[in-house]
């Protein structure tokens, strides 16, 4: 008597193959920081749970051909989602969000930058897709199944039960998981990449509804918070120092503070900026942090011009370019300044051509305003030296006083430069990105020095305040091993990662003679109130979350978009509270008899070691939330202008 060989349904095979592949990507291609055994278990099971739920839907197709087709294309689409996130993660150490998809126009300008993120072994990621495709085409009779309604319901019930179990474990490991939408790594680690994307879609729909139902009442609560916790009555000694002077802001692409007054193979990396740290006309802020998120350079612009935080996902420049803002260029315009921005790149990149109008810029000198040739361009476009040289005509065409923002390009990933422009050697590590970084950083430093010379020759120098600011980090956490080698550390800890978010800020005031190195903790959110104060402009009704850099009565901390922060005493990063001076985690406090207190023995979501950071954590959470409310609700549209009408 012959027994019929049992079938193994294709959706089970697909679940095992896709789940295993996804786990391998999680474990060995993403850097998700597994801290304990429970996290390891959750990380292993969540890909299988997620894909089982999706593939099990195939049993609801009665026709064999449709069932096979559904599994084939689901496997292909799932692989594309995984790979897109992998390539994105290699560049930004982050995961794709829905608003990021609306930034697809940026992809056309990425060019060689994307190619450096693709590895030959990535082809192995389609192996399971090929197997599934072949089985579904050639072995249909052996891998397709036909279930009764009870069997279909059972498959769905098992799927949902497994999903509930996954979420139970995740919530045990990370209480209030779904309230931590700003921490995408935690979500992916506990929910899986596919469930994370579903969560992201739901969250984006929720935030989009905020504008529809928003009214002006929320502004009063935000204004009260800002007046109590952020603003100060202290007047800066530098108030009005820039009155009737031009303000030139240089956004130095990807320049980080670890370069300043540092060497590579015995050579200074940024000799000109090093000299500014000792210049009597220059204030150098050595503990100044970038606070950008997924919007990178555009987030830096948004922070400086608005003193609001960027969004937790996507870029404000794309998602909310039509909002009303009370931005720096608009305020300067109202006080007699001409405002302009100069960037020798495509005007549509980061949606600048739309956003700049909302921010109040009078003029935008984009790529078409420059003579870009094969000889004077590299990587992302016009090299920094010809950019500054050609920009002089645009600067001299502006009615004075003016506020001009200038955005450099050369020091951009993948940090490529020709031998004729390289005046320093490459570093020697396992990271081509870090190896190249020193050459392009030196080139940008030389370009800025030449620009100072152009300003002096043109006669603009004495009548201008020149601000140089690194816009964001250039070396992501994916290069931690190489960074540890350069910094002579055994490893890069979360504390080190936070410290590597420091970017240089120089405020150069020709003839001032009172420059110094400032060590207080500060960030990009502080630029707007600082520049307005220096220009002698006061706006009591303005809502901003930064402080004048030249007053002592400051809030004393800066917040990162993921909820981490740096204060004068603490660094909160990766869920751990560190002593900022020593870099050591803060030990939990014991009672006098040497035993733990009752509160220390409870199963709290955060370790007792974070108690020193807890009060600031609360403020950071409030500030980020209030800033989001302003942007998502477009709340400034309810602010009345001086004539009593809505803006």
Return the minimum-mean-pLDDT range out of 138-147, 279-288, 337-346, 501-510. Answer: 138-147
Q: Supply the pLDDT for residue 150.
A: 77
Q: How confident is the model at residue 221, as a pLDDT?
A: 94
Whole-number Å distance between alpha carbons of 645 and 647? 6
Cα 91 from Cα 125, distance rounded (Å): 19
Does residue 536 register a pLDDT over 60?
yes
- Check residue 615 and give its pLDDT: 93
Confidence (pLDDT) at 97:
77
- Phi first, then psi, for residue 198 (nearest 5°) are -65, -45
CA distance 558 to 151: 56
> Integer distance in angstroms from the first to the last C-alpha of the chain?
86
Split at pLDDT 50, 70, 90, the class of 112 is: low
Please report which helix (H) or strand (E) contains residue 523, including its range.
strand 522-523
pLDDT at 602 over 60: no
Pairwise CA distance, residues 372 & 19, whole Å: 48
Q: Is the C-alpha dihedral spanning 376, 382, 384, 385 positive or negative?
A: positive
Beta bridge partners of 558: 566
Model confidence at 581, pLDDT cuts 50, 70, 90, reads: very high
| Residues in Cβ contact with 73 at an 8 Å cutoff, skipping those fewer than 6 apart | none
Helix (H, G, I), strand (E, B) or coil at 248: strand
Assess whether pLDDT exceeds 50 at residue 1.
Answer: no
Give the mean pLDDT of 223-241.
94
Range 116-133 average pLDDT? 89
> In Å, what is the CA distance from 242 to each residue of 180, 395, 457, 548?
42, 17, 21, 14
pLDDT at 165: 87
- For residues 197-206, average pLDDT: 80
**Cα–Cα distance for residue pair 132/129, rounded to 1 Å:** 5
Instruction: Output 250 or 5, whichever has higher pLDDT.
Output: 250
pLDDT value at 630 more than 90? yes
Lowest mean pLDDT among 251-265, 298-312, 579-593, 630-644: 579-593
Minimum mean pLDDT among 81-95, 394-408, 577-591: which range?
577-591
Determine the Cα–Cα distance for residues 546 and 467; give it in Å rounded to an integer.
17
Taking the C-alpha atoms of residue 189 and residue 319, their distance in angstroms, rounded to an integer, is 26
Q: Is the pLDDT of residue 596 over 60?
A: no
What is the rounded distance in angstroms from the CA atom of residue 132 to the CA atom of residue 140?
A: 11
Between residues 300 and 164, which one has the greater pLDDT?
300
Average of per-residue pLDDT across 131-146: 80
Q: Would you say 257 and 502 are in contact if contact means Cβ atoms under 8 Å apart?
A: yes
Is residue 478 within 8 Å of 93, Cβ to Cβ? yes
How does DSSP assign 47-67, residue by residue? HHHHHHHHHGGGGG--SHHHH
* pLDDT score recorded for residue 173: 77
Neighbours of 209 (CB within 10 A): 11
Q: What is the mean pLDDT of the chain?
A: 88
Max Cα distance, the chain (Å) = 103
Reference 575, options 588, 592, 562; nearest CA is 562
Considering only CA atoms, which of 464, 337, 456, 466 is closest in space to residue 398? 337
* Six token digits for residue 118: 């693709």
pTM for this predicted structure: 0.76
Measured CA to CA, the distance from residue 233 to residue 565 in angstroms comes to 25
| Separation of alpha carbons 510 and 588, rounded Å | 49
CA distance 542 to 198: 37
Rounded to whole angstroms, what are the CA distances from 437 to 164, 197, 258, 420? Answer: 46, 33, 12, 16
Count of beta carbons in the 10 Å neighbourhood of residue 236: 18
C-alpha torsion 349→353→356→360, nearest 10: 170
pLDDT over 60 (residue 23): yes
Between vectors from CA 414 to CA 411 and to CA 416, what angle results, nearest 5°? Answer: 65
Nearest residue to 46 via CA among 154, 177, 201:
177
| pLDDT attached to residue 642 | 46
Residue 367 phi/psi, 5° resolution? -55, -40
Distance CA(14)–CA(74), nearest Å, equals 10
The Cα–Cα gap between 529 and 545 comes to: 9
- Give the model's pLDDT for residue 591: 37
pLDDT at 183: 65
Instruction: Return d(Cα 88, Cα 105) in angstroms, integer.
Output: 15
370 Cβ contact partners less than 8 Å away, ≥ 6 residues apart: 344, 382, 386, 387, 390
Give yes or no for a contact between 288 and 503, defined as CB atoms under 8 angstroms apart.
yes
Residue 416 vs residues 133, 383, 435, 441, 647: alpha-carbon distances, Å: 40, 11, 10, 11, 45
Q: Mean pLDDT over residues 242-262, rounded?
A: 97
Q: What is the mean pLDDT of residues 268-288?
A: 98
**pLDDT of 332 above 90:** yes
Q: What is the rounded (10 degree) CA torsion for 63, 66, 67, 68?
A: 120
Domains and CATH numbers, the chain: 10-209 (no CATH), 224-518+530-638 (3.40.720.10)
Q: Are 482 and 430 in contact (CB under 8 A)?
A: yes
Both tokens of 245, joined, read 């002077």
Q: 284, 306 in Cβ contact below 8 A?
A: no
pLDDT of residue 3: 43
Between residues 604 and 215, which one has the greater pLDDT?
Answer: 215
Question: How many distinct helices (H) and strands (E) make up the chain?
Answer: 23, 18
Residue 601: per-residue pLDDT: 40
How many other β-carbons are positioned within 10 Å of the β-carbon of residue 409? 21
Averaged pLDDT for residues 269-276: 98
> CA-CA distance, 426 to 264, in Å (whole number)?
9
330, 306 in Cβ contact below 8 A? no
Mean pLDDT along residues 361-373: 95
pLDDT band at 588 (very low <50, low <70, confident <90, very high): very low
pLDDT for the residue 611? 65
What's 477's DSSP letter? G
The pLDDT of residue 18 is above 70? yes
CB-based contact 94:196 (threshold 8 Å): no
Cα separation, 439 vs 308, in Å, equals: 33
Three-state secondary-structure class, residue 285: strand
Please say if the pLDDT value at position 132 is more than 50: yes
Of 127-141, 168-182, 191-205, the poorest mean pLDDT is in 168-182
Query: Pairing mode, if any, of strands 464-470 and 267-268?
Result: unpaired
User: Which of the two residues, 397 and 604, has the higher pLDDT score?
Assistant: 397
Segment 470-478 mean pLDDT: 93
Q: Dig out the tokens for 227 from the structure.
A: 């007046």
Least confident of 94-103, 192-201, 244-253, 451-460: 94-103
Q: Between 284 and 5, where is the model more confident? A: 284
């Amino acid at each position: 008597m012959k027994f019929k060989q049992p079938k193994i349904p294709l959706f089970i095979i697909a679940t095992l193959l896709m789940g295993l592949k996804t786990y391998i990507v999680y474990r060995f291609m993403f850097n998700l920081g597994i801290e304990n055994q429970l996290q390891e278990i959750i990380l292993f099971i969540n890909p299988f749970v997620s894909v089982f739920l999706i593939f099990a839907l195939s049993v609801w197709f009665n026709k064999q051909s449709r069932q096979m087709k559904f599994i084939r294309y689901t496997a292909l689409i799932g692989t594309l989602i995984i790979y897109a996130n992998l390539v994105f993660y290699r560049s930004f150490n982050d995961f794709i969000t829905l608003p990021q998809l609306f930034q697809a126009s940026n992809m056309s300008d990425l060019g060689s930058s994307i190619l450096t993120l693709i590895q030959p072994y990535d082809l192995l990621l389609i192996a399971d897709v090929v197997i599934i495709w072949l089985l579904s085409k050639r072995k249909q009779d052996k891998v397709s199944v036909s279930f009764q309604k009870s069997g279909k319901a059972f498959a769905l019930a098992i799927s949902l039960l497994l999903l509930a179990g996954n979420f139970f474990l995740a919530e045990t490991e990370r209480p209030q998981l779904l309230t931590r939408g700003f921490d995408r790594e935690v979500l992916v680690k506990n929910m899986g990449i596919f469930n994370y994307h579903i969560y992201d879609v739901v969250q984006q729909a929720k935030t989009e509804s905020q504008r529809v139902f928003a009214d002006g009442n929320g502004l009063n609560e935000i204004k009260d918070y800002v007046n109590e916790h952020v603003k100060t009555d202290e007047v800066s000694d530098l108030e009005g120092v820039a009155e009737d002077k031009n303000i030139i802001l240089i956004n130095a692409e990807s320049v980080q503070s670890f370069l300043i007054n540092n060497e590579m193979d015995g050579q200074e990396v940024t000799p000109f900026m090093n000299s500014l740290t000792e210049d009597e006309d220059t204030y150098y802020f050595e503990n100044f942090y970038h606070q950008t998120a997924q919007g990178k350079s555009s987030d830096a612009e948004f922070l400086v011009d608005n003193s609001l935080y960027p969004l937790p996902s996507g870029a404000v420049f794309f998602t909310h370019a039509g909002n009303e803002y009370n931005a720096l260029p608009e305020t300067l315009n109202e006080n007699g300044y001409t405002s302009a921005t100069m960037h020798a790149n495509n005007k549509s990149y980061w949606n600048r051509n739309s956003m700049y109008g909302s921010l109040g810029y009078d003029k935008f000198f984009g790529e078409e305003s420059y003579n870009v040739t094969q000889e004077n361009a590299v990587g992302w476009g016009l090299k920094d030296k010809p950019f500054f040289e050609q920009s002089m005509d645009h600067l001299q065409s502006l009615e004075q006083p003016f506020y001009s923002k200038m955005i450099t390009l050369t020091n951009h990933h993948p940090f490529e430069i020709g031998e004729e422009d390289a005046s320093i050697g490459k570093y020697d590590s396992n990271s081509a990105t870090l190896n190249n970084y020193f050459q392009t950083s030196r080139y940008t430093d030389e370009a800025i020095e030449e620009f100072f010379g152009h300003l002096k020759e043109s006669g603009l120098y004495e009548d201008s305040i020149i601000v140089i600011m690194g816009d964001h980090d250039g070396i992501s956490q994916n290069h931690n091993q190489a960074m540890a080698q350069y910094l002579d550390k055994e490893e890069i800890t979360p504390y080190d990662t936070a410290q590597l978010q420091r970017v240089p800020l120089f405020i150069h005031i020709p003839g001032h003679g009172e420059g110094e190195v400032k060590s207080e903790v500060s960030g990009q959110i502080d630029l707007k109130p600082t520049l307005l104060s220096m220009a002698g402009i006061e706006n009591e009704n303005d809502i901003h979350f930064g402080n004048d850099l030249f007053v002592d009565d400051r809030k004393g901390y800066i917040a990162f978009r993921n909820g981490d922060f740096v204060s004068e005493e603490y660094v909160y990063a990766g869920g751990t509270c560190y002593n900022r001076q020593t870099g050591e985690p803060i030990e939990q406090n014991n009672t006098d008899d040497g035993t733990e207190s009752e509160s220390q023995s409870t199963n709290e979501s955060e370790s007792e070691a974070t108690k020193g950071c807890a009060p600031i954590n609360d403020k950071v959470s409030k500030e980020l939330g209030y800033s989001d409310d302003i942007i998502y609700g477009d709340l400034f549209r309810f602010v009345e202008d001086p004539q009593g009408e809505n803006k």
